[in-house]
Chain A
């Protein structure tokens, strides 16, 4: 596709369960970002990949959160032992590289933890 694709668009899960959110960036974009947006707030940075490696994971809130990008394209954000406070919209974005802040965002994955 032409844009950033995220699946699922909606995920409802129970407290304590494991969740995976997938992001398919724009073809050729080497930089990939995950952000989290809570209700009434702006997006918050979680992690940045340049190629296959996580160049900056300083925004991950704790060790229940992990992300991978094994082949430098698709990325998966993994959340273990979900908590109600993890409920948010998880946004993925990609760009041509680290020297630009012009990011192309997907529509997001809305996670609800009951």
Chain B
């Protein structure tokens, strides 16, 4: 069963506009959520995280929103830049979700973001 889902395989956005990437999860024991970015032929790189005690976390152009009741999180990128074009993975973990470490992550399938100049 897919415990973390990214239902949009791809997203295309104009430079300067907002990019919104979405993620849903099913395991209510997850309490820590992250976004990773991946360029071709590179490993994923950490972007931003949020604990379940918060509903928003902001870091520069990147903001993550968490809606626990809906088991939904989203990543907003404002303004979008061509260098943001990459695959974005949502991930979740939790000590009470059978975790032995917060680094034991369950990833979504990824969303390919393309930002056009």
Contacts and interface: CB of A to CB of B under 8 A. Distances in A.
Interface of A: 4, 31, 33, 35, 40-45, 48, 50, 55-56, 58, 91, 93, 95, 98-108
B109 interface: yes
Nearest to B108: A42
Contact of B89 (A42, A50, A56, A106): A42
B43 A40 contact: no
Contact of A91 (B43, B98, B106): B43
B113 to A, nearest CB: 15
A101 B49 contact: yes
B89 A101 contact: no
Interface residues of B, number: 25
A105 B37 CA distance: 11
Contacts of B44: 43, 91, 103, 105
Given A101-B34, A102-B46, A42 B110 contact: yes
Contacts of B108: 42
Given A102-B34, A105-B43, A108-B43, A48 B104 contact: yes
24 contacts: A31-B101, A33-B103, A33-B104, A35-B105, A41-B110, A42-B108, A43-B44, A43-B105, A48-B101, A48-B103, A56-B100, A93-B103, A95-B103, A98-B103, A99-B102, A101-B32, A101-B91, A101-B93, A101-B103, A101-B105, A102-B46, A102-B49, A103-B46, A107-B42
